[in-house]
Amino acid sequence: MQRIQLRTVAGTLFVVAGLLAASAVTGPAAAASRPSPAELGRKAEIITEQYNAKRLALARAQRAKKAAERQLRRANEQYEQLRQSVGAMAAANYMRPGSESEISLFADDDPQVALDQSSASRYLAAQRTNQLRQFVIARMAAHRTAAEARDRAAEIAELTADLAKKKKAIEKLIQQIPQAAPGAGGGAVSLPNTGKASTVVNAALSRVGMPYVFGADGPSSFDCSGLMLWAYQKVGINLPHYTGAQYNMGTRVSRAQLRPGDIVFFYPDIGHNGMYIGGDKMVHAPRSGKNVEVVNMAGYYWSNFTGAVRLL
């Protein structure tokens, strides 16, 4: 009986030891497999800029659809006018006597009259042919513009669905990221340069402490390209809300040429940007879970630097 109890205790200890060993192995491994807030934020930022690109595409598609619809209305009006004109011409032609046929050249007592009638007949025939041609062209134009409007409507539906998916994916990632509390504004600073560059830098710095929110462009929350958009509006420059589009504006400058107010871009996908403020520093909206901040670009950011543009 005592031996059985000892075996039971030994077995229990063996199982407990196994569980402890397993937890010692799987605990750190499980922790290591979970993405860090920075990794989650980077993933969310990539999708955010894709989301911003789709929003621009949606706006373009909506404008194109409105233009196609206006053109379609004009084409239909022209088609209807020509349709009525061609109908009236067909009715009039049906009522005309057969004397307009060129056979009257041989049947009429006055050949000159017959010749005049024949010339008039050919002229009218040419006019009718031209009118019919215009009618066919108008009809084809109406069909083309109707197809264009339908294509744009289908594109809008597809973009809207894609935006909803991306929004859902971003929100899912954001839920896993600890959120920083909004901080105080950074306040304006004096720069050695004056003019528009100083204005945009001070505008961006005044938003320090405001939270990063995907798709936001101020005044109290921002994503990275939204902060650039908001700051540059202060000098009358309207930027698209998308890092990829902002990268293709202005004049491209190298790292050695950077001046305060230049927009700096990072990563191969141009998925993040900020505003250079001098002294190897920038102000930017970093990622979900963080606030607008000033950072030193030495190390991480310079190692991921892609390029810069100057708009002033």
The residues annotated with a catalytic role in the active site are: 224, 272, 284
Token representation of residue 308: 């810069």
Nearest in space to 291 (alpha carbons), one of 198, 139, 154, 186? 186
Token representation of residue 291: 């606030």
The reply to whether omega before 219 is within 30° of 0 (cis) is yes
- Supply angle C-alpha 280, 282, 287, rounded to 5: 135
Task: Give the amino acid at 207.
Answer: R
Q: What is the CA radius of gyration of the chain?
A: 36
Longest dimension (CA), the chain: 146
CA distance 223 to 173: 15
Token representation of residue 42: 């980077």
Does residue 209 come out as left (phi exceeding 0), alpha (psi in the -120 to 50 range) or beta? left
CA distance 199 to 205: 10
